[in-house]
Amino acid sequence: MNAGVLAILLTVAISSPAAALPKPRKELYWFDWWEIEKKVWPISMGRGVTVAVVDNGINAHLPDLRGAVLKGVNPSEPDVGLSRVGKDRKNGGHGTAMAALIAGQGHGTGMMGVAPKVKILPIVGHRAGDWALAREIRYAVDHGAQVISMSIGSETFMECPGEIQEAVEYAVKKDAVLVASAGNEGRFEDWRSWPANCAGVMTVGGLDGHLRPWKRTTPGNYMAVAAPALHVGSIDFNGNFRVGSGGTSPSAALTSGVVALVRSKYPKMPAEQVVQRVLATTKDVGPPGWDDVTGHGLVRPYRALVDKVPSTAPNPVYDRLRNWQKSRERAGVVESAAPSRTTQAQSAPRASDQTSGWMIGAATFAALCILIGGWWILRGRLK
């Protein structure tokens, strides 16, 4: 067999998986931006990677998602029947839309995800509060998620709650990459949104259809990267294709898909290096250098798959986590010298113990008074 024939056979073998998939809808403009069919899919389609989608449920029975979604769970409300999990109609099927952006199969409406060979793990119930989201993050990583996609956000001015931050730290130690949407509030006072502002999370800002910063992206000094946000189309709960008005939710979902592509290509690469690789291969699209809306720039999957990224490349996502860990350690040293309120509360006597102690003290005092009084009386008589 000559070299030319061998090259042709190799080319067919490499490109055939992508060629076998349905053609993505023309509205999915990021496929052209990222040259998904031509350059990305011949290298990686996400096979072997599980992406947890923390949202309001996924309709796994739609043709565009059939076979891509694992059994869903609601770890915050374990009494909810699993027949309901993954079938939540709230918000018009927000979770379904995000899952399709990641792993759409294209067999219904032509809705294709950027990583169609991944498996989606639906995690439902985050709206119960920060304690619930913390539990869901831990559940996701404990059940095999290498990527956790969180197109969600709190409506608050708070910093990242401690329970969620600790759950993020736990997930990072378990080698998971966490991705979150920046939010859609724009520059509204000093708005903060968790989990976007949690250290160790890759926060994603939005771009319009012309590679410009999307003006409604909630800015932050924790912004990492950017992806399409304006007029991003996907399917709803009933499987109908719709084009959204805009939001950083799809930005995070698409970036999660890109992370899955990299994890599939480099299965032994630690999560920290995966994030470093994605950050180092972005395209600057906002003001020169880093900015608080687009971060380091547009995510570029092909470059993230093939570029040589030095081990010394910056990784501010993990630097923030290390800084948080150091600050906690310093706080721990202070607390060891002066017990915290929690420690004091735990070591304080119960109310019944305090009452008993008071009664014993009072009785002792009364007895002492009687003794002293008796002594004075006796002394007077002796005189």
Domains and CATH numbers, the chain: 25-332 (3.40.50.200)
For 332, counting Cβ atoms within 10 Å of its Cβ (0-12 exposed, 13-18 middle, 19+ buried), the class is exposed
**DSSP code per residue over 126-142:** GGG-HHHHHHHHHHHHH
pLDDT (0 to 100) of residue 227:
98
Q: Which two tokens stand for residue 277?
A: 């690789």
The 3-state DSSP class for residue 50 equals strand
What is the Rg, in whole angstroms, of the alpha carbon atoms belonging to the chain? 28
Question: How far is residue 36's CA from residue 60's CA, in Å, rounded to a whole number?
Answer: 24
pTM (two decimals): 0.81
- CA dihedral of 315, 317, 318, 320, whole degrees rounded to 10: 120
Q: Which two tokens stand for residue 276?
A: 């470093």
pLDDT tens-digit map of 197-244: 999 999 999 999 999 999 999 999 999 999 999 999 999 999 999 998
Question: How far is residue 179's CA from residue 262's CA, in Å, rounded to a whole number?
Answer: 14
Q: What percent of the chain has pLDDT over 90?
A: 66
Q: Which two tokens stand for residue 7?
A: 């090259």
Q: What percent of the chain has pLDDT over 70?
A: 75
The 3-state DSSP class for residue 102 equals helix
Mean pLDDT of 14-42: 86
**DSSP code per residue over 256-308:** HHHHHHHHHHSTTS-HHHHHHHHHHT-B--SSSS-BTTTBT-B--HHHHHHS-
Contacts 24+ apart (CB under 8 A), 74-80: 74/123, 74/124, 74/125, 75/123, 75/125, 75/135, 75/136, 75/139, 76/125, 76/126, 76/128, 76/131, 76/132, 76/135, 76/136, 77/125, 77/128, 80/125
Question: Cα 216 vs. chain centroid, distance in angstroms?
Answer: 20
316 pLDDT band, cuts 50/70/90, is: very high
Question: How far is residue 351's CA from residue 194's CA, in Å, rounded to a whole number?
Answer: 38
Query: Which of 16-30, 35-49, 294-308 is the least confident region?
Result: 16-30
76 pLDDT band, cuts 50/70/90, is: low
